[in-house]
Structure 1
Amino acid sequence: MTGNGVVERRMEKTVRKLIGDKVDCPFSVEPRTGRVQAGGAMEFCVAFQSQTVGDFCKLLTVNYETGESVHIKLHGTAGEANVYLEKNQIVIGDTFMGLKRESSFLIFNKTKHIVNFRWKRLPDPAHDNVEIERLKESFEMVKDLEMKKNVPIKQLCHVERNQHEIVCDRIYSDEIEALKQQELDFKDRNFILLPGFGEIWPDNWIEITVIFMPDKAQNFCVKAYCDILGAEHRIPLTITGVGQGPLLRLNVRSLDAGYIVAQAVHSYEIVVTNSGDIPGTVKFMPSCLSFGGKICCDPKKLHLNPDDYKTFLITFNSNTVGNFEENVKFLIEESHEVLQFMLK
């Protein structure tokens, strides 16, 4: 919020007006210095921008080079903008690895003003400052190393050493400024919020799209924070989703071999089907048998496209006489899910 003021000078000579450091936050003034002609006037603008809710009173001091001072009382009240999210939690259904699933929600602006919003990675400006300092330290180390290795540039006679240091300092200063915004904005390898920033018109709303792109077969949960102009605190949004691996299944859970002859080789066909939307690879997992004997599988590995099915040939033989139960296991490579059936 801004307001205009006028300084008049009723003297016969021109004087200089100084405002600069004579007003405290959340108020600011522009221009901070100026000249007032004899009998003339000068307009300046006072801005009020508070990061917290409450009433604020400050004094604006106008100092003249003649030693005179004028004190202006400033008063401002900051309130919470009526801007809110339709949902504070988004749950996205199971999604196959490598594919995308979308969900959406609204941000409502019930004020009479245009408000800006931006999705942040951290919950508040205090955490932002800590992260910025960490970035500065990291870049400062890189900058110091780069300044010391100016040999290639010097050999090519491009710049002298002191000029090289100036160039490096400027480059890394620009990099820090650019990286600040990139690092502090929300970003995640599995979730995207679109748009990531924008403005909402008075008494209006904007639709936000959440895109889920799992790269693993596991549960995912992240938090994003909506930084809204006019809101004292960032609004948290929790997003959850489940990554689904290839949907491969065996045609049996238990295989009863019945009475078999010791030392003889017995064969069984095991069918694997892919009823999901992405391809998958399943391989046999050899293991030591508690009953003794040996289980072999041909082939060792199968690759199945969606709606495909293929067959493993399992062979079993043992020199031991008696009842037996053995778990035969297979591994889905993409999701590390174990499939198994009982051979008895």
Structure 2
Amino acid sequence: QDYFHCLLCTTEREEFLVPIRAIGARAVLDFPDQLDFSVCPVKYSTQKTLMVRNLGNREACYKISTQSPFSVIPTMGTLGIGDTLQVTVEFHPLQTGDHCASLVVHYGTGENTHTSLHGSAVNVHIKLDRNSVTVENTYISLSNQSTLRIHNNSNVTAHFQWKVFATQEEEEQLKQRFCHRLCEQENAQAGNFLEWSRADTTRGERLSLLSHIFQSERAKVQRDPMLFFDDIFTIKPVEGEIWPNSSAEISVVFRPREARVYKHAVYCDVSGRETRMPLRLIGEGLGPQLHFQFEELDIGKVSVISLHRYEAILVNKGPIEGLFSLIPPTTAVGSCFTFLPQRGIIAPDGLQAISISFRTTIPGEFKE
């Protein structure tokens, strides 16, 4: 504690005051005036450790604070006279450019000291070996894969994640929508509960439990890293680390469900790069390869009313089972044909004989 007093001095001619100040014991932590992180990779944690000693003549009760993208550990505590404390200051910039902040030490006696923090964030040399992956044509129910590499030509260990969205802002917007939906569900369930439990003496506890459940669900949404997931394309590994001056092999597995072309965009979020690196995935799904041994059946001249029988062979030339079914004809002459069987499954490299019966009462030439 500090003390202050004024001493009144009186002479024959005048009076004057002599101020007397007594400064109490103080804690003094020897933080530097400034701390420079120099040039660091963006979206990467760089730490500096300070050994801080209490040079004062009383125990230090302190709190330490700073602003993003800087952080500090510990944030509060006590330190005895002459004792030493290890303080870790971290610089984790999410954007390139210069960053400045102040590290403030708040003493229990009311004084504050300031340390100037400075760091510059840059992109490092990390890249994909290509921005598009085209997987070979793949039959439905089968899978195929292709590979690419992430090259880390920097001196830091890079952590990567494959993401659905191009930016962090899009992820946060989706999380906010999910949380808003959960809030609406919570309010609706709470309203319904209050409606039918007016006489329930335990409804306060039940409402508290309901609130806790939805809080847990919202926290789970906020913790979700939003990694890439898709039923058609699979990326392995979906996250990992790449050592300095090395590369990581990434596999893209393609499992089509329909006979069509699939296109998908994914994004590689990697420490050391401010923006996510896009990758386009392309693959085509192929269906069963069913073919008749001939494309045209010439019936020739036949008598009306009489029954005529023919046979066509349906062959599966693909590596997967082929499911077939008859599309009933809608024309007058087409309804005179009967096909058996009308549906079935043909194994790979297998065949199916299709019996064709024809009987008509309509004379004349036709083509179906």
TM interval, short-chain normalised: 0.7 to 0.9
For residue 178 of structure 1, report the CA deviation from its aligned partner.
Answer: 3.5
Residue of structure 2 equivalent to 1:339 = none
Q: What is the root-mean-square deviation of aligned Cα atoms in Å?
A: 2.7
In structure 2, the residue corresponding to 1:254 is in which secondary structure? Answer: coil
Cα distance in 2 between the residues matched to 1:3 and 1:83: 24
Residue of structure 2 equivalent to 1:19 = 64
Matches within 5 A, 1:1-344: 1-20=46-65, 23-145=66-188, 147=190, 160-180=202-222, 184-289=226-331, 294-326=336-368
Cα distance in 1 between the residues matched to 2:99 and 2:224: 33
Tell me if structure 1 keeps the 8 A contact 2:175–2:221. Answer: no
For residue 150 of structure 1, report the CA deviation from its aligned partner.
Answer: 6.9
For residue 308 of structure 1, report the CA deviation from its aligned partner.
Answer: 0.9
For residue 131 of structure 1, report the CA deviation from its aligned partner.
Answer: 1.1
For residue 252 of structure 1, report the CA deviation from its aligned partner.
Answer: 2.1
Identify if the C-alpha distance between structure 1 residues 183 and 190 changes in structure 2 by more than 3 Å, giving closer, same or farther: farther
Cα distance in 2 between the residues matched to 1:43 and 1:307: 73
Tell me if structure 2 keeps the 8 A contact 1:150–1:164. Answer: no
**What amino acid is aligned across from residue 118 of structure 2 in structure 1?**
H
In structure 1, the residue corresponding to 2:267 is in which secondary structure? Answer: strand
In structure 1, the residue corresponding to 2:299 is in which secondary structure? Answer: coil
How many residues get paired?
A: 319
Tell me if structure 2 keeps the 8 A contact 1:293–1:320. Answer: no
Tell me if structure 2 keeps the 8 A contact 1:15–1:66. Answer: no
**What amino acid is aligned across from residue 17 of structure 1 in structure 2?**
Y
**What amino acid is aligned across from residue 320 of structure 2 in structure 1?**
I
Identity %: 27
In structure 2, the residue corresponding to 1:19 is in which secondary structure? Answer: strand
In structure 2, the residue corresponding to 1:93 is in which secondary structure? Answer: coil
Q: TM (normalized to structure 2)?
A: 0.78
Identify if the C-alpha distance between structure 1 residues 112 and 292 changes in structure 2 by more than 3 Å, giving closer, same or farther: closer
Cα distance in 1 between the residues matched to 2:136 and 2:142: 12
Tell me if structure 2 keeps the 8 A contact 1:293–1:317. Answer: no
Identify if the C-alpha distance between structure 1 residues 171 and 313 changes in structure 2 by more than 3 Å, giving closer, same or farther: same
Greater displacement, 287-296 / 201-210: 287-296
In structure 1, the residue corresponding to 2:326 is in which secondary structure? Answer: strand
The CA deviation string for residues 2-25 of structure 1, in whole angstroms up to 9 with x for no partner, is 1133555544333432323xx222
Identify if the C-alpha distance between structure 1 residues 284 and 71 changes in structure 2 by more than 3 Å, giving closer, same or farther: same
Identify if the C-alpha distance between structure 1 residues 219 and 293 changes in structure 2 by more than 3 Å, giving closer, same or farther: closer
Tell me if structure 2 keeps the 8 A contact 1:293–1:319. Answer: no
Cα distance in 2 between the residues matched to 1:290 and 1:83: 68
Structure 1: which 5+ runs fail to align? 327-344
Greater displacement, 267-276 / 63-72: 63-72
Instruction: Report which of the two structures shows the higher radius of gyration computed on alpha carbons.
Output: 2
For residue 127 of structure 1, report the CA deviation from its aligned partner.
Answer: 0.6
Cα distance in 1 between the residues matched to 2:352 and 2:83: 93
Cα distance in 2 between the residues matched to 1:323 and 1:300: 26
Cα distance in 2 between the residues matched to 1:123 and 1:315: 60
In structure 1, the residue corresponding to 2:137 is in which secondary structure? Answer: strand
Cα distance in 2 between the residues matched to 1:125 and 1:92: 28
For residue 42 of structure 1, report the CA deviation from its aligned partner.
Answer: 3.8
Cα distance in 1 between the residues matched to 2:312 and 2:223: 55
**What amino acid is aligned across from residue 34 of structure 1 in structure 2?**
G
Q: TM (normalized to structure 1)?
A: 0.83
Tell me if structure 1 keeps the 8 A contact 2:329–2:335. Answer: no
Cα distance in 1 between the residues matched to 2:224 and 2:112: 45
